[in-house]
Amino acid sequence: MEAADGIVEFFEELGRGEHQPLLAKVTGRVRFDLVEGGRPDRWLLAVDKGDVTVWHKGGPADCAVQADRALFERLCRGEENAMAAVLRGALVCSGDVELLFAIQRIFPGPSPERRPQVGVRGSR
């Protein structure tokens, strides 16, 4: 269950009650339906101007995002880009699209280890 822990950890971190500055303008409910072998694992997020409450359950939302569990794990680790995944049809969204654009900010960027080589500064 090591893989699952990444997702649980990600949502628990989000739900710790700390204000999320990147979501400061966001108010709404987003549900993530994570699919693995047909059984959806549902997480519900209520955002109120950056204050996030997380439940490990289903429920009505303004925006629903469905994803393969493995893909979502990579999103939580910053190894996938959410917007590219939407274009690919790997993240399937319904409802309020603006909320989707806003909520994808919760995923981390690529980790420094994964960063391509930065060009040598001042080269001539």
Residues at the site binding another protein, with contacts judged by CB under 8 A:
22, 24-25, 31, 60-64, 78, 81, 83-84, 86-90, 92-98, 100-102, 105, 108-110, 115-119, 121-124
**Distance from C-alpha of 124 to C-alpha of 122, rounded to nearest angstrom:** 6
Q: Which is it for the CA torsion 23, 87, 61, 1, positive or negative?
A: negative
Q: To the nearest whole angstrom, how small is the minimum distance from the Cβ of residue 120 to another protein?
A: 9
Comparison of 37 and 109: residue with beta carbon closer to another protein: 109
Comparison of 34 and 100: residue with beta carbon closer to another protein: 100
Q: Which helix (H) or strand (E) holds 45?
A: strand 39-48
Q: To the nearest whole angstrom, how small is the minimum distance from the Cβ of residue 89 to another protein?
A: 4
* Other CB atoms within 10 A of residue 62 CB: 16
